[in-house]
Amino acid sequence: MVIEGECFCGKVSYKIEGLLRDARSCHCSRCRKAFSSQASAYALLDPEDFTWVSGEDLLTTYIDKNECGFKFCCICGSTLCGVVGGIIHGITLGCVSGDPEVQLGRHIYVGSKASWEIIPEGVVQYQEDVPEKR
C-alpha cells in the first residue's frame, strides 16, 4: 500500500510504499515535550519504504545525545518522523493522511504519564518500555 502524509502547513509531504507496524503511544516526559501533547503516537516502518515528496529542504532535525531525534517542518513545527542513527525508523501518526491501517496497540511509559492525563481503559499499557526492549 502507499501511505501519504504531510505537515500542518502542507509544505512538507512524504509517501511510504509499504506497511506500518507496531503503532504505539509513549507517555514519557520527553515525548510530551517533543510532541507538545500528552503522549507521542507513532508507528515503525522499513526505512527503504520512505520517500520525501516535497519540502525536504524545510526540515529541521533535532538529535539528542543518544543519536535519537525527530525531523520537524521549520515553518509550522509539525513533528514528522523519528530518526535513530540518521535513519528514519518511525513516523508520527498525527501527520498521516487517511487510514494507515494500523491502530495504537500499546501505550508505553505509562508509569511517567502526566498527572493530568487520563488513559482510557482497555488498552495495553506498560509502565516503561515495550517488553522486548527491557
Residues that bind Zn ion (CB under 5 A): 7, 9, 11, 26, 28, 31, 73, 75-76
Q: Cell numbers for 2, please give them.
A: 502507499
The nearest distance, CB 128 to Zn ion, in angstroms, is 10
Residue whose CB is less far from Zn ion, 50 or 113: 113
The nearest distance, CB 122 to Zn ion, in angstroms, is 21
Residue whose CB is less far from Zn ion, 1 or 76: 76
Angstrom CA distances, 133 to 125, 126, 128, stand at 15, 12, 10
**Comparing C-alpha atoms, which of 76, 69, 54 is closest to residue 7?**
76
Q: Provide the 10 A C-beta neighbour count for residue 85.
A: 10
Residue whose CB is less far from Zn ion, 18 or 89: 89
Distance CA(62)–CA(34), nearest Å, equals: 10
The nearest distance, CB 40 to Zn ion, in angstroms, is 6
The nearest distance, CB 73 to Zn ion, in angstroms, is 3
Inter-residue contact 92 to 14 (CB < 8 Å):
no
Q: Cell numbers for 10, please give them.
A: 502542507
